[in-house]
């Protein structure tokens, strides 16, 4: 993702294992800032009423205090440690391999690499995704229906014990589908936007990474929200007398459109973009800075 080979001002690429570690660390760092927006987004998506962004925040704070906005943080961090570590590690590894001979990838090629990285990451990260969604949504349920998970690991162990191990991959298909859309849009758009902005403006460093990230975040939000809300509803659904609330992703989509309207597929757009935009910006800035610090370290230069 960086133009980095050799010395003379160019960055030295880290080895593959370090690329994975940097990807996970960048995602976890960004999550520390945006977890409240993720929680609000999840609450709005599982709600079958039209409660808006600010009323949802007020309801959370009133019921659980300001710390309630960080409910599910452990699951959010675990999700980054599994999903983001994998997707960014796979993407940067494949991207660098395919461009090592000076070949410049086309946008469709970048999108294909992003889809591959997203699919692998989502498959590995689905259990932590389910834990995150349930912990984030728990406070919106009546007291008698709350699951009261104490941590991400408690959620995962209880789901496996109470519902079976395969329940940890419930909604895996829409999760993988969402991840493929997200990563095709986010990673490919970021790489292309960074190339375009870098070639047509004087921006470099953090301003360049910030600009490319904002473009990437908006494109990703528009493309991925319908898949995201289907995934969220599936993973948070309950069983009534042994019968699941939904039969599958298509049933969720048809139910939402029929009962709530087509635009409900983009319910929670503001908190979603408010979460995804900064998360994209912070993740890529942290990732680029860690890559640059590694290069300076290998050259024997001052890291700071």
Mention every residue, 6+ apart, whose C-beta is less than 8 A from residue 93: 16, 19, 20
pLDDT at 301: 75
Q: What is the DSSP letter of 11?
A: P
Judge contact between 192 and 166, C-beta under 8 A. Answer: no
* Dist. CA 243–CA 237, nearest whole Å: 11
pLDDT at 285: 93
- The pLDDT profile of the chain, 304 residues, written as one tens digit per residue, is 555 444 455 778 899 999 999 999 999 999 999 889 888 887 887 777 777 888 889 988 998 898 889 988 988 899 999 999 999 999 999 998 998 888 888 999 999 999 999 999 999 999 998 998 888 888 877 888 888 898 999 999 999 999 999 999 988 888 898 899 889 999 999 999 999 999 999 998 899 999 999 899 889 888 888 888 888 788 778 777 778 888 888 898 999 899 989 988 888 788 788 778 888 889 999 999 999 999 988 887 766 5
Q: Look up residue 84 and give its two tokens.
A: 């983001």
Q: Among residues 216, 232, 240, 264, which one has the least CA distance to residue 133?
A: 232
C-beta pairs of 29-32 under 8 Å, 24+ apart in sequence: 29/282, 29/283, 29/286, 30/80, 30/278, 30/279, 30/280, 30/282, 30/283, 30/286, 31/73, 31/76, 31/77, 31/79, 31/80, 31/279, 32/73, 32/77
Q: Among residues 72, 31, 40, which one has the least CA distance to residue 59?
A: 40
Which pLDDT tens digit goes with each residue over 45-101?
A: 777 777 788 888 998 899 889 888 998 898 889 999 999 999 999 999 999 899 888
Which pLDDT tens digit goes with each residue over 189-211?
A: 999 999 999 999 999 889 999 99
Count other Cβ atoms within 10 Å, centred on residue 150: 10
The proportion of the chain whose per-residue pLDDT surpasses 90, expressed as a percent, equals 44
CA dihedral 288, 293, 297, 300 (to 10 degrees): 110
CA distances from residue 229 to 41, 70, 112, 177, 287 in whole angstroms, order as listed = 9, 20, 23, 12, 28
């Amino acid at each position: 993702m960086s133009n980095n080979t050799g010395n003379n001002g160019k960055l030295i690429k880290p080895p593959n294992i370090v690329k994975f570690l940097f990807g996970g660390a960048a995602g976890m760092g960004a999550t520390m800032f945006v977890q409240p927006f993720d929680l609000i987004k999840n609450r709005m998506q599982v709600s079958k009423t039209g409660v808006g962004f600010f009323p949802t925040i007020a309801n959370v704070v009133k019921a659980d205090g300001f710390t309630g906005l960080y409910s599910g943080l452990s699951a959010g961090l675990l999700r980054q440690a599994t999903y983001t570590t994998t997707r960014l590690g796979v993407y940067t590894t494949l991207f660098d391999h395919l461009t090592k001979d000076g070949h410049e990838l086309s946008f469709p090629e970048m999108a294909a690499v992003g889809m591959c990285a997203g699919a692998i990451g989502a498959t590995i990260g689905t259990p932590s995704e389910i834990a995150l969604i349930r912990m984030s949504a728990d406070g919106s349920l009546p007291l008698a229906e709350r699951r009261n998970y104490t941590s991400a690991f408690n959620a995962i162990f209880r789901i496996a014990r109470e519902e079976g191990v395969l329940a940890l991959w419930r909604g895996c298909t829409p999760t993988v589908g969402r991840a493929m859309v997200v990563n095709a849009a986010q990673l490919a758009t970021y790489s292309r936007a960074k190339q375009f902005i870098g070639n047509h403006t004087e921006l470099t460093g953090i301003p360049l990474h910030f600009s490319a990230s904002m473009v990437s975040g908006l494109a990703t939000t528009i493309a991925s929200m319908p898949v995201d809300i289907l995934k969220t509803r599936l993973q948070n659904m309950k069983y009534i007398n042994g019968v699941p609330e939904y039969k599958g992703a298509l049933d969720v989509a048809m139910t939402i459109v029929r009962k709530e309207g087509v635009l409900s597929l983009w319910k929670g757009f503001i908190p979603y973009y408010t979460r995804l935009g900064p998360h994209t910006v912070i993740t890529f800035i942290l990732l680029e800075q860690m890559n640059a610090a590694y290069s300076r370290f290998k050259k024997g230069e001052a890291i700071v």
